[in-house]
Structures are given as structure tokens and as C-alpha cells.
Amino acid sequence: MGQKVSRRYDPPDSPRSVGWVTPQQVQLANASNPLSLCCGAALDYVVVEYEQYGHMNADRSNVVLITHALSGDAHAAGWDATTAHTGRTWRDRKPGWWDAVIGPGKPIDTDHWCVICSNVLGGCYGTTGPASINPTTGLAWGMRFPVVTVEDWVQLQARLMDHLQVQRLHAVIGGSLGGQQALEWALAFPERVGRIACLAASPRLSTQGVAFNAVGRHAIMRDPHFNNGDYYTGPGPQDGLASARMLAHITYLSDQGLENKFGRRRRDQQAPGFGFDIEFEVESYLDYQGRSFVERFDANSYCYITRAMDYYDAAQRWGDGDLVTACKRLQSKVLVVGFSSDWLYTPEDCREFAVAMCRAGKLVSYADIESPYGHDAFLVEEAPVGRLLRSFLHAQQGSMP
């Protein structure tokens, strides 16, 4: 989601890389088979973008679905082949957002598992969303796009699995908002999922998290260029989106991580400038995060995805407000991983989730990883996360990793 950490990536021709990958698109809703949404609306034209790494076995029982977080996309591993002929070397580009753990011989081993990741409905990376053209009007949907939920995302992912003729997933794995999708899979389709791994995620976002999302959307929607979401033919709400990203990025980090990385250092190491230009290193870092985010993400999609994040409450949806009752639906093995310095989805919230499953009589494994990297730890702590996932994926049914 945010923190920049130096990594050594495998080049596309490495035996540990899935190499060059090409995203695929498929239409999964039409007039005769519309996608009904929780808000009461229905979409009769939906395209989904996804990527696939590895090969399905004969009975398609080795499929692992990866679900992404707020600003993620379907490009989870390898190197995007659509940018292969830009004249830039592979070092000038970025691999998939979870390339460290997906690939041949890696924790999610594509020599053994067939890995699929798709972009969520309402996103801006190939799947139908606010920036897509509404076939009825011939114009971008903008804020006329119906409100979407985590439940809608999972229903659409299930359609993708149907399209790929995958009846039962070996596992669904996700971090943050992706972890909530994994949980929803196990609750909505208990017979179709063998196991789920929820990293840095709990059954609902905290009130504080909802509050941060509200401020982010306020910054976007009050930007003078927002134009009620109809900004696609002119300047967009760049300042508002950058501010929203800067605010959210703080929640992905931790006080310890910020102190270790930046402290109170000034950019030029000189005396205060007694003004309001960027002086502190941490200011410069957040400014960079905001500006770079504007270049790759859609402001409307940010509003829709954060709202879906706000709405998700597994206990309310499946247990009339009682998490233990909701957990009784589970048939999957479950791995929950919390991170010590995460204050967006806290370790306490993750443990509460694990305890509720125990009280419901379900098979669950919980791990609490010490890390200074805050919420971003599920992406940064590659070694401990990788060990847990490798063991969890290969564990025999009825045993724990």
C-alpha cells in the first residue's frame, strides 16, 4: 500500500520469476445475465481484468486466488508484457506488487499452484469502474456508477472462477482489504474454498479507519476540479487525490517506522526556513507519495473503494451483528496474521477474529509478527509472511501450519 523498501527483484528471465505476463480481460455480465449489486442496482456490462501465473492441474484443484488491497490491481507478480517494448529496461519498471512471494520456488509456488488475481469492480486497472464508458450514454460513468461492496467484488470473482471452470479454490489469500475479500469468500461460498489467509485484516474496519477514509474522500470531492466526478475531459482533482493518499499513507506506516526512516531531519540540514515550503524529509516523502499516486489512480475509484472498505462488516452481514455466529458458516481452514505496529487493522482486532473462530469451533491458526512497518508490513515482511503462507498452503486438511 505504500512504504518504499529497498528490494532486490528477480529479472524477467530469472527461474524464480513468472516472467513477462499479459493481463487478460473477460466480460462477465450482459443484458441477459446482469450483475446484481448489494445497493439494489444491476450492471448488464462488466469486464474484469485478471492475470494468471502457473498452470491448472487436470481437475483444477490447485488454484489460489490472490485478492488485492485498496490501491492494488491484478498485476500481482512478474513483469507487465504490455510495457516490454517501451525502450526501458526491466529495471526501470516495477514487478507485480507481491512478486516477492509469488513465483517458481517462492512461497506461493507457481510450479505447484495456479495463481489468479483480478482487479476489483469499481477499480481503475482494467475492470469496469467509474472511468469506464457507460454503454447506455457513451460517456464515462463518473459518480453515476453504482456503489459497490466487498460482497459485490466476491460475487464477481466467483463469476470469474465459473468462467475458468474452477469449482473449488484451494485457497484465497489477501492482505488488508484483500484479507476481507478472502473472509467474504469463505462466508459467501463456504463449499468453494479450502482455506483462506487474512493478513493485516479483520472482519470490519475500525471507526478510526472509517474516519480517515471520510477525510480522504472529503479532500477529493471538495477539490475545485472534481466537478461531481465528471472530470475525465478536463483537469482532475489532483490536489484532492494527492491529499487523500498522503493521509492514508500515514495510516499504513507506524510511529516507530517514521522515526527510524525520517526522524526530524530537514532536507537541507539547515536552520528553519520560517515558511510553509517542504522542509522536513517526512514532508518530502509524503508529497512524493501523493504526486506519484495521482499519476496512476482514479479519484472516483478511490472514493468507491474506500466506501466499500467502510461498509464491510462480516458479523453484521452473516451473524446479525455477532461474529461468532458468522464464523459458524466457515468450512475453510483459516490463517490470520497480525502485525505488531499496525494501527489500521490492529493485532487486537486480528486476535479477536481468531478467538471468535475458536469459539465457533473452527480450525484457525493465528500469528502475530513483530514489525516496525505498520500496516504495510504484510507487503514488507516477506520472509516471515512467506514462511507462513508456504506452510499453510501445503498443510494437510485437519492439520495446522
Task: Look at residue 308 and tell me if it is in a domain.
Answer: no
**Model confidence over 279-316: pLDDT tens digits?**
999 999 999 999 999 999 999 999 999 999 999 999 99
| pTM score of the predicted model | 0.95
**Model confidence over 99-124: pLDDT tens digits?**
999 999 999 999 999 999 999 999 99
Residues 178, 183, 185, 188, CA torsion sign: negative
Q: If 0-12 CB within 10 Å is exposed, 13-18 middle and 19+ buried, where does residue 47 land?
A: middle
Q: What is the CATH number of the domain that holds 96?
A: 3.40.50.1820
Task: Look at residue 246 and tell me if it is in a domain.
Answer: yes
Query: How many separate domains does the chain show?
Result: 2
- The upper half-sphere exposure of residue 314, i.e. CA atoms within 13 Å in the direction of its Cβ, equals 28
Q: Which of 115, 123, 120, 121 is nearest to 96 (CA)?
A: 115
In terms of domains, do 349 and 374 share one?
yes
So which residues are the catalytic ones? 176, 342, 375
Whole-number Cα distances in Å, 222 to 4, 25, 244, 303, 338: 29, 34, 11, 12, 35
Dist CA 196 CA 216 (whole Å)? 30
In terms of domains, do 224 and 251 share one?
yes
In terms of domains, do 336 and 275 share one?
no
State the greatest distance between any 2 C-alpha atoms of the chain, in Å, as a whole number.
68
Q: Which residues pair with 80 in a beta bridge?
A: 21
In terms of domains, do 37 and 102 share one?
yes
Task: Look at residue 279 and tell me if it is in a domain.
Answer: yes
In terms of domains, do 189 and 285 share one?
no
In terms of domains, do 100 and 64 share one?
yes
**Model confidence over 221-275: pLDDT tens digits?**
999 999 999 999 999 999 999 999 999 999 999 999 999 999 999 887 777 888 8
Task: Look at residue 307 and tell me if it is in a domain.
Answer: no
Q: Which domain holds residue 126?
A: 20-205+314-394
pLDDT band at 397 (very low <50, low <70, confident <90, very high): low
Please give the mean pLDDT across all residues of the chain: 94
What pLDDT does 84 receive?
57
Amino acid at 164: L
Query: Angle at the Cα of 339 (from 158 to 17), degrees rounded to 5?
Result: 60
DSSP 219-240: HHHTSTT-GGG--TTS---HHH
Task: Copy the grid coordinates of residue 245.
Answer: 493518499
Task: Look at residue 213 and tell me if it is in a domain.
Answer: no
